[in-house]
Amino acid sequence: MLRRTLPVALAFAVVLAGLVHFRDDLRELVGTAPGSGRSAPAVHRLYEMSGPVGGRCADLPGDLDADGEAALRALAGCLDRMWEAALGRAGLDYEPPSEMRLVGTPEEAACGIDDFDWSGIYCSGERVVNVLVERGGEERETFPMMFTLAHEYAHHVQQITGIADQSGPQVFDEAWSRRLELQADCLAAATLRDVHPYLLNDLRRSAAAQSDAVEEQAAAYRDSHGSGASSARWMLRGQKEGTMASCNTWKAPAEEVS
Ligand SMILES: [Zn+2]
């Protein structure tokens, strides 16, 4: 009995060891490895068909900081038009977020998520975009809030187009989260590139200069959102080219989404 099962068990062990050893290659082969050019979010039709996603936003007030809320509401309308046009070119319907909430504290957001360390958040279930308008009791500057809004809108687009769909065979780890977040940074820059190019330059440079502090919270943020340098690099791509294709973080090598 032993003589017959031992070779079978051995063969089995060899196959198992091989599977473990070649797991990454197999994932690459079936297109589920993070960074595989064949994974579903990397080959979405939007990359080839949507064209430039940006545009001007004539509705914005001339003095952005005079009324930050009015600027955000005007920008939301422009973002809806930009994304409707881009998705339309790819033959996809666009639905605006169900609501844009300008909140004074993270606790007011609709998500019910336990993480309160953010300046904006997209609640994917309710499709609500939240932007924090105060920090430490002070009103935030308007353009950084506009970038937050454009970033959360990008999450909305990732959601309604299925790019953020977590039902596939991919691995949903921190590397996946960084690709999602850095893509949102890139798309935010693409949508704002003609809205306020100079302010976008300033914001990108301050992201690049962000010291990667070693505090626990900063480290956790970097793990899930990418470093300041990575964020600035993807913002620059979105700003320069302004297309979904230039923001395809899903097929970028790991070092570009660190
Ligand atoms: Zn985000």
- 17: tokens are 């060891």
The pLDDT tens digits for 159-214 are 999 999 877 777 788 899 999 999 999 999 999 999 999 999 999 999 998 765 55
**Distance from Cα 24 to the centre of ligand 1, integer Å:** 27
**Distance from Cα 158 to the centre of ligand 1, integer Å:** 11
Is residue 98 included in any domain, yes or no?
yes
**Distance from Cα 173 to the centre of ligand 1, integer Å:** 15
Count structural domains, the chain. 1
Is residue 17 included in any domain, yes or no?
no
The pLDDT tens digits for 202-222 are 999 999 987 655 566 778 888
- State the residue range of the domain holding 229: 33-257
- 201: tokens are 């330059």
**Distance from Cα 235 to the centre of ligand 1, integer Å:** 13
**Distance from Cα 214 to the centre of ligand 1, integer Å:** 21
pLDDT for the residue 17: 54
- Alpha carbon of 78 to those of 4, 26, 96, 136, 191: distances in Å? 72, 43, 11, 29, 9
Beta bridge partner(s), residue 138: 135
Is residue 81 included in any domain, yes or no?
yes
Is residue 162 included in any domain, yes or no?
yes
**Distance from Cα 254 to the centre of ligand 1, integer Å:** 19
Is residue 27 included in any domain, yes or no?
no
Is residue 9 included in any domain, yes or no?
no
Three-state secondary-structure class, residue 196: coil
**Distance from Cα 16 to the centre of ligand 1, integer Å:** 38
- Alpha carbon of 16 to those of 19, 23, 25, 170, 211: distances in Å? 5, 10, 14, 21, 44
**Distance from Cα 185 to the centre of ligand 1, integer Å:** 8
Is residue 2 included in any domain, yes or no?
no
The pLDDT tens digits for 16-50 are 555 444 555 555 555 556 566 778 888 888 998 88
Query: What span, in angstroms and rounded, lies between the C-alpha atoms of 138 and 214?
Result: 26
Is residue 22 included in any domain, yes or no?
no
**Distance from Cα 116 to the centre of ligand 1, integer Å:** 13
8 Å CB contact between 133 and 104: yes
Query: What span, in angstroms and rounded, lies between the C-alpha atoms of 96 and 78?
Result: 11
